[in-house]
């Protein structure tokens, strides 16, 4: 039997594959679909009825117990009160924000942890998101342990103090609160949120920097909240937590290659390195039995293809590196195993967050005014760009050790190339850049003024001679309406 062909067929038929093992796959199906699968000759003897029973001890407080939406909310509020006001060790390092509401009107909480809470700094923005599948709550608990050590060990543990001082850390412990309350994979509308993000290329083309629309029409409330927030932030590195296996999977999940076929991204080597930073300290994950996953890491499509996943959207549309981390073979392990799971994941969560400091970083400014710019940073030979945070102009391009050539561009500015940037395996190399505003030659006929004659010439060129270089006002290599726009604004 050809397992990959089966997976493709099931995927094409609309079945929701949630995990793949050596000789079997896990699917979430209705009772009717189960009958169809059996009729198609699949061995469905391992099917389990989905039990809508609540997670053990809802309402408990503290670490090492499963939280409900309500107890999670009060716990996060307590952390924010204690560590956002300076009452603990004078450290104001924690802020609680509601990003928006779920379908059933629950808050989707984000915790921000950094040393200067309301100041834009030249720091990478890092993120963990948990439990977009409501019946995979281990990630929520790992996030709470992580929040707890960042806050309580800040100021005493030098490694944690450095991380908090130099990183803007965001943690969304519960993306699908309605699903958690219902002990249900899907959101309240029965939608799998990790299949609800815009696909490439049908859902969007280009990046947010190119002005490709965010296009969240028709998406679920939870998906929209995460999309809009992610587009406003400038995340450099991210991971989202799941359960049902022990593995890190990295983009692409979907590059139209089919399940069981590797779909490498332009940053494939970087992905393997980043994923291994998570799996290596976590011995059950590192030694997991999934085929083709040495060290507990695997390309998403090689494992099994999914469409509409969050990590591909983050990477392709925002230039944010995102991986999917499966924390335990059991979706809801016994509560008394949570402490052990935290032991497995503590070093992993720290090491992965610290990886947001590798590669090249810097600030891009206007050469004349010194204003920070929204710019695109490209590594020559790698077509995956990253973008500056427009508030501060800072960029953080994660790269493995080597020597790289960079191209920095921004609309209305002359491109700049920086050659032979040496990247080591320690802290990111700093490359600050000042871009010169481009001078636009809008006086096409050279008569000393920009007027209707130039507009006429531009329109004619647009319609008849799209290769006419002398009319390429912004020197981007093509004639477009923006060239005409530049002439119109310069008339007079």
Kindly indicate which of the ranges 7-15, 101-109, 127-135, 155-163 contains the residues binding Zn ion, using the contact rule CB under 5 A.
127-135
Kindly indicate which of the ranges 163-171, 206-214, 235-243, 292-300 contains the residues binding Zn ion, using the contact rule CB under 5 A.
235-243
CB of 324 to Zn ion, least distance (A): 8
Place of tokens 């999917």: 324
Window 289-318: residues binding Zn ion (CB under 5 A): none
Kindly indicate which of the ranges 132-140, 218-226, 292-300, 481-489 contains the residues binding Zn ion, using the contact rule CB under 5 A.
132-140
Non-local (6+) Cβ contacts of 401 within 8 A are 423, 424, 425
Q: What are the structure tokens assigned to 460, written together?
A: 């004619």
CB of 180 to Zn ion, least distance (A): 12
On whether the CB atoms of residues 55 and 183 are closer than 8 A, the answer is yes
C-beta of 219 vs 242, nearer to Zn ion: 242
C-beta of 26 vs 337, nearer to Zn ion: 26
Q: Which of 312, 331, 164 is nearest to 238 (CA)?
A: 312
C-beta of 133 vs 397, nearer to Zn ion: 133
Residue nearest to Zn ion (CB): 242
Active-site residue, 326 included: yes
CB of 275 to Zn ion, least distance (A): 17
- Report d(CA 204, CA 434) in Å as an integer: 31
Non-local (6+) Cβ contacts of 139 within 8 A are 128, 130, 131, 173, 240, 241, 242, 243, 325, 327
C-beta of 130 vs 274, nearer to Zn ion: 130
b or e along 164-176 (b: 16 or more beta carbons within 10 Å of the residue's beta carbon)?
bebbbbbbbbbbb
Kindly indicate which of the ranges 58-66, 126-134, 195-203, 387-395 contains the residues binding Zn ion, using the contact rule CB under 5 A.
126-134
- Report d(CA 309, CA 330) in Å as an integer: 21
C-beta of 112 vs 242, nearer to Zn ion: 242
CB of 31 to Zn ion, least distance (A): 22
Kindly indicate which of the ranges 7-15, 20-28, 129-137, 272-280 contains the residues binding Zn ion, using the contact rule CB under 5 A.
129-137
On whether the CB atoms of residues 302 and 262 are closer than 8 A, the answer is yes
CB count in 10 Å sphere of residue 184? 18
Kindly indicate which of the ranges 4-12, 136-144, 222-230, 246-254 contains the residues binding Zn ion, using the contact rule CB under 5 A.
136-144
b or e along 347-374 (b: 16 or more beta carbons within 10 Å of the residue's beta carbon)?
ebbbbbbbbbbbbbbbbbbbeeeeebbb
Non-local (6+) Cβ contacts of 210 within 8 A are none
C-beta of 242 vs 441, nearer to Zn ion: 242
> Which value, to the nearest 10 degrees, does the dihedral of the CA atoms of residues 77, 69, 125, 115 take?
20
- Report d(CA 307, CA 257) in Å as an integer: 11
Q: What are the structure tokens assigned to 368, written together?
A: 């004349």
C-beta of 133 vs 365, nearer to Zn ion: 133
Catalytic residue among 121, 326, 427, 468: 326
Q: Per-residue string for binding with Zn ion, 401-430, x by CB under 5 A?
A: ------------------------------
C-beta of 175 vs 410, nearer to Zn ion: 175
> Which value, to the nearest 10 degrees, does the dihedral of the CA atoms of residues 374, 375, 377, 383 take?
100
CB of 136 to Zn ion, least distance (A): 5
Q: Which of 322, 308, 307, 300 is nearest to 198 (CA)?
A: 308
CB of 225 to Zn ion, least distance (A): 18
Q: Per-residue string for binding with Zn ion, 239-258, x by CB under 5 A?
A: ---x----------------
C-beta of 4 vs 28, nearer to Zn ion: 28
- Report d(CA 211, CA 208) in Å as an integer: 5
CB of 7 to Zn ion, least distance (A): 17
CB of 28 to Zn ion, least distance (A): 10
Binder among 127, 133, 357, 397 for Zn ion (CB under 5 A): 133
Note the helical H segments in 402-480: 452-464
Q: How many residues at the interface with Zn ion, by CB under 5 A? A: 3
CA distances from 292 to 300, 302, 338 (A): 11, 8, 28
CB of 104 to Zn ion, least distance (A): 20
Kindly indicate which of the ranges 144-152, 219-227, 237-245, 384-392 contains the residues binding Zn ion, using the contact rule CB under 5 A.
237-245
b or e along 109-127 (b: 16 or more beta carbons within 10 Å of the residue's beta carbon)?
bbbbbbbeeeeebbbbbbb
- Report d(CA 297, CA 303) in Å as an integer: 10
The residues that are catalytic are: 326
Contacting positions for Zn ion (CB under 5 A): 133, 136, 242
């Amino acid at each position: 039997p050809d397992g990959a062909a089966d997976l493709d067929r099931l995927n094409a038929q609309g079945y929701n594959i949630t995990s793949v093992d050596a000789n079997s796959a896990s699917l979430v199906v209705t009772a009717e679909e189960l009958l169809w699968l059996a009729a198609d000759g699949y061995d469905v003897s391992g099917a389990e009825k989905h039990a809508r029973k609540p997670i053990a001890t809802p309402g408990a407080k503290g670490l090492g117990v499963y939280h409900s939406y309500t107890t999670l909310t009060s716990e996060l509020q307590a952390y924010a009160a204690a560590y956002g006001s300076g009452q603990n060790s004078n450290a104001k390092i924690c802020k609680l924000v509601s990003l928006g509401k779920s379908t059933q009107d629950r808050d989707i909480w984000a915790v921000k942890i950094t040393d200067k809470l309301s100041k834009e700094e030249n720091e990478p923005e890092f993120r963990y998101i948990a439990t977009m599948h409501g019946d995979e709550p281990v990630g929520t608990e790992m996030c709470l342990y992580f929040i707890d050590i960042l806050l309580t060990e800040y100021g005493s543990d030098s490694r944690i103090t450095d991380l908090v001082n130099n990183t803007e850390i965001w943690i969304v412990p519960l993306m699908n609160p309605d699903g958690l309350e219902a002990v249900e994979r899907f959101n309240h509308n029965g939608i799998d949120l990790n299949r609800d993000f815009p696909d490439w290329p049908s859902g969007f083309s280009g990046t947010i920097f190119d002005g490709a629309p965010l296009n969240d029409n028709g998406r679920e409330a939870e998906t929209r909240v995460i999309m809009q927030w992610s587009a406003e932030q400038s995340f450099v590195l991210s991971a989202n937590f799941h359960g049902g296996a022990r593995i890190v999977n990295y983009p692409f999940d979907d590059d139209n290659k089919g399940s069981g076929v590797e779909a490498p991204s332009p940053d494939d080597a970087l992905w393997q390195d980043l994923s291994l930073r998570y799996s290596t300290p976590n011995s059950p994950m590192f030694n997991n039995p999934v085929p083709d996953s040495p060290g507990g890491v695997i390309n998403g499509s090689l494992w099994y293809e999914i469409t509409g996943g969050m990590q591909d959207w983050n990477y392709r549309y925002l230039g944010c590196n995102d991986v999917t981390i499966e924390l335990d073979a059991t979706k809801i392990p016994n509560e008394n195993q949570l402490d052990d799971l935290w032991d497995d994941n503590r070093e992993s969560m720290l090491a992965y967050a610290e990886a947001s400091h590798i590669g090249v970083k810097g600030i891009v400014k206007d050469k004349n005014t010194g204003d920070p710019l929204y710019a695109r940073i490209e590594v020559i030979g790698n077509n995956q760009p990253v973008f500056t945070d427009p508030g501060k102009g800072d960029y953080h391009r994660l790269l493995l050790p080597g020597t790289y050539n960079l191209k920095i561009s921004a609309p209305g500015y002359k491109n700049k190339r920086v050659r032979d940037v040496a990247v080591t395996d320690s802290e990111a190399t700093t490359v600050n850049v000042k871009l010169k505003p481009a001078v636009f030659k809008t006086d096409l006929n050279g008569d000393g003024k920009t007027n209707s004659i130039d507009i006429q010439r531009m329109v004619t060129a647009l319609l008849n001679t799209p290769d006419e270089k002398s009319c390429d006002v912004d020197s981007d290599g093509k004639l477009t309406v923006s060239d005409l726009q530049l002439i119109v604004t310069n008339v007079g």
